[in-house]
């Protein structure tokens, strides 16, 4: 047989190894990018929870058939502060070492006698001081009291909106809720409206958790911060509104890092028990220090009413201030933790931490500040379902009318919704609408820019590319020293175009 059929050209000999080696390098680079993004986008991992307990339950008053439940989760201290296990970096060398190890038959023995040496000899136990009559140790005990916080763990608390339990409360007091599909019941029960990281040295002993203002457990809450990227850098004294308070982790984070730029923050929730649980069990009112917001009538106001009614009042009333404000302050007695008579009617702040404006403040300036919103966060969910009123044209028009000329509305959607985006394009304009997918979740955040008085301004505003949003997110983190890398929450290809 001629040797022609067995001849291999030198080009083929060089090309095949280079292609194989290049493929391995490309896969390794993609794997490293994926691992780095997983570290930059921390997600609370329920698989590492060692203990779960129900701290409080509040039957809903406005949302029938649901309960507001505060649950506590305990995770080992060995995990990251964001509640996920530390994943070792798997580079190319580690992968090759693991691949080569599959061809060797070696056995490693570990003595069981030394197994306890890896444990921390002195595990911290959280001790708290209560009244002497609450001590369970007796008169002869040297320990005043100790909480049920397991040693060697970190505590997280979540506000869960789940279907009412048949066994809890008086079944005759409320009508039975309509039956739901089994899959919907499981999803509703697993919906964490707000996750807080608890302070182990808290002195607030009457609540389940003193939340950490620097913690945002849900990735979609961090992506909602992208609304700041569309605001002009010269715009200060922002009026902010949060529709759907939940446990209050987003308002506390805003006040912690953006308080110097905010003038007023309105917290709106249709369910009074959500605000009550956030105040009594998660310490929202105590943690929302309004020192940075005490300028010319600014402050934090809590409203128990429907989002449509709240926005309608802002659009229709120039001043939008009720006469029956409960100015309790941070240490006041007129709070939501009191009896039901303390709740005012809908449209009136439940309690209000404000600073009295001086006489020199212009009334026109004050009215303009309190009428238009610069940043509007819309996070309206019932369990795991989005409120249908959010997706209507009327609600979107109402949101736009309530915004300032440069205002931005940020909507949280449970999944990508083309119909909703199409309606936003019709109301705000296609060049003023941005879609951002949420990592490690099916949620999607939609940003809409420009108020009702911004027809000429919005037309002159250029549409930002993905790359520009990515760079602005990096600048935002550096400017405000955010604990999360917002740019890494965006898709990888946003770095290029």
Give me the mean pLDDT over the 275-289 stretch. Answer: 83
> Which pLDDT band, with edges at 50, 70 and 90, does 122 fall under?
very low
- Cβ burial of 252 (10 Å; 0-12, 13-18, 19+) is buried
Greater pLDDT, 102 or 280 = 280
Please tell me which residue, 486 or 370, carries the higher pLDDT value. 486
| Chain segment 338-358, per-residue pLDDT in tens | 333 333 334 445 555 544 443
Structure tokens at 359: 């006489």
Domain-located, residue 71: no
Contact (CB, 8 A) for 191 and 160: yes
For residue 483, tell me if it sits in a domain.
Answer: yes
In a domain, 450, yes or no: yes
pLDDT for 65 beyond 80: yes
* Residue predicted with more confidence, 157 or 388: 157
Distance CA(246)–CA(68), nearest Å, equals 9
Which range marks the domain in which residue 440 is found?
Answer: 219-495
Decide if 231 is inside a domain: yes
**How does 126-164 read in b/e, with b if 16+ C-beta sit within 10 Å?**
beeeeeeeeeeeeeeeeeebeeebeeebbbbbbbbbbbb
Do residues 262 and 295 make contact, with C-beta atoms less than 8 angstroms apart? no
With bands split at pLDDT 50, 70 and 90, how would you rate the model's confidence at 230? very high
Is 56 part of a structural domain of the chain?
no
Q: Please give the pLDDT value at position 362.
A: 46
The residue with greater pLDDT, 381 or 423, is 423
For residue 145, name the pLDDT band (cuts at 50, 70, 90). Answer: very low
By the 8 A CB rule, do 415 and 444 touch?
A: yes
The answer to whether 293 and 299 have CB atoms below 8 angstroms apart is yes
Tokens linked to 88: 């070792």
pLDDT at 7 over 60: no
**Domain membership flag for residue 459:** yes
Q: Are 287 and 198 in contact (CB under 8 A)?
A: no
pLDDT value of position 447: 96
Q: What is the pLDDT of residues 455-478, one digit of tens each?
A: 555 556 788 999 999 999 999 999
Q: Which residues contact 308 (CB under 8 A, 6 or more apart)?
A: 389, 395, 398
Model pLDDT, residue 466: 94
pLDDT band at 492 (very low <50, low <70, confident <90, very high): confident
pLDDT mean over 215-225: 92
Residue ranges in 302-351 assigned as alpha helix (H): 307-316
Spatial CB neighbours of 403, under 8 Å, sequence gap ≥ 6: 372, 373, 374, 376, 409, 450, 451, 452, 454
The total number of structural domains in the chain stands at 1
pLDDT at 34 over 70: no
Domain-located, residue 46: no
Q: Using CA of residue 217, residue 35, residue 229, residue 477, what is the dihedral sign? A: positive
Q: Is 440 inside a domain boundary?
A: yes
What pLDDT is recorded for position 356? Answer: 43
Q: What is the pLDDT of residues 291-343, one digit of tens each?
A: 445 555 568 888 999 999 999 988 874 343 333 332 333 333 333 333 333 33
**What CATH number should be reported for the domain holding residue 307?**
3.40.50.150
3-state secondary structure of 323: coil
**pLDDT-derived band of residue 108, with 50, 70 and 90 as boundaries?**
very low
pLDDT of residue 89: 47
Ordered alpha helix ranges (H), 228-306? 249-258, 272-280, 284-287
Kindly report which listed range (182-186, 260-264, 277-281) carries the lowest average pLDDT score.
182-186
**Residues in CB range of 75: below 8 A, 6 or more apart:** 45, 48, 49, 50, 83, 153, 154, 156
């Amino acid at each position: 047989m001629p040797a022609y059929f067995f001849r291999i050209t030198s080009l083929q000999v060089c090309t095949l190894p280079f292609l194989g080696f290049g493929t391995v390098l490309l896969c390794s680079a993609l794997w490293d990018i994926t691992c780095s993004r997983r570290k930059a986008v921390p997600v609370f991992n329920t698989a590492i929870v060692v203990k779960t307990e129900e701290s409080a339950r509040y039957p809903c008053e406005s949302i029938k058939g649901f309960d507001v439940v505060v649950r506590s989760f305990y995770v080992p201290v060995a995990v990251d502060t964001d509640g996920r296990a530390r994943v070792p970096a798997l580079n190319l060398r580690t992968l090759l070492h693991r691949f080569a190890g599959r061809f060797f038959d070696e056995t490693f023995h570990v003595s069981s006698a030394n197994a306890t040496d890896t444990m921390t000899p002195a595990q911290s136990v959280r001790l708290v001081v209560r009244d002497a009559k609450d001590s369970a140790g007796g008169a002869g005990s040297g320990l005043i009291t100790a909480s049920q916080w397991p040693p060697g763990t970190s505590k997280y608390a979540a506000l869960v909106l789940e279907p009412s339990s048949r066994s809890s409360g008086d079944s005759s007091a409320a009508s039975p809720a309509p039956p739901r599909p089994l899959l919907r019941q499981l999803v509703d029960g697993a919906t964490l409206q707000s996750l807080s990281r608890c302070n182990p040295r808290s002195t607030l002993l009457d609540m389940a958790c003193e939340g950490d203002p620097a913690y945002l457990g849900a990735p979609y809450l961090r992506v909602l911060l992208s609304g700041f990227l569309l605001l002009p850098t010269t715009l200060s004294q922002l009026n902010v509104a949060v529709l759907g308070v939940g446990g209050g982790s987003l308002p506390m984070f805003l006040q912690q890092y953006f308080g110097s730029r905010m003038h007023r923050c309105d917290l709106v929730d249709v369910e009074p028990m959500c605000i009550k649980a956030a105040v009594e069990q998660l310490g929202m009112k105590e943690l929302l220090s309004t020192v940075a917001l005490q300028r010319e009538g600014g402050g934090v106001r809590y409203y128990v009413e429907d989002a449509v009614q709240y926005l309608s009042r802002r659009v229709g009333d120039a001043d939008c201030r009720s006469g029956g404000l409960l100015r309790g302050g941070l240490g006041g007695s007129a709070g939501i933790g009191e009896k039901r008579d303390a709740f005012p009617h809908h449209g009136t702040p439940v309690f209000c931490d404000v600073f009295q404006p001086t006489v020199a403040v212009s009334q026109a300036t004050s009215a303009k500040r309190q009428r238009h919103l610069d940043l509007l966060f819309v996070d309206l969910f019932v369990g795991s379902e989005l409120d249908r009123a959010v997706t209507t044209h009327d609600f979107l028009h109402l949101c736009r009318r309530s915004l300032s000329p440069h205002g931005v509305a940020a909507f949280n959607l449970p999944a990508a919704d083309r119909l909703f985006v199409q309606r936003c394009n019709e109301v705000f304009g296609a060049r003023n609408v941005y879609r951002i997918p949420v990592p490690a979740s099916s949620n999607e955040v939609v940003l809409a820019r420009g108020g009702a008085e911004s027809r000429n301004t919005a037309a002159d505003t250029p549409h930002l590319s993905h790359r520009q949003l990515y760079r602005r997110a990096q600048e935002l983190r550096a400017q405000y020293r955010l604990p999360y890398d917002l740019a890494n929450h965006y898709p990888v290809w946003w770095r290029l175009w």
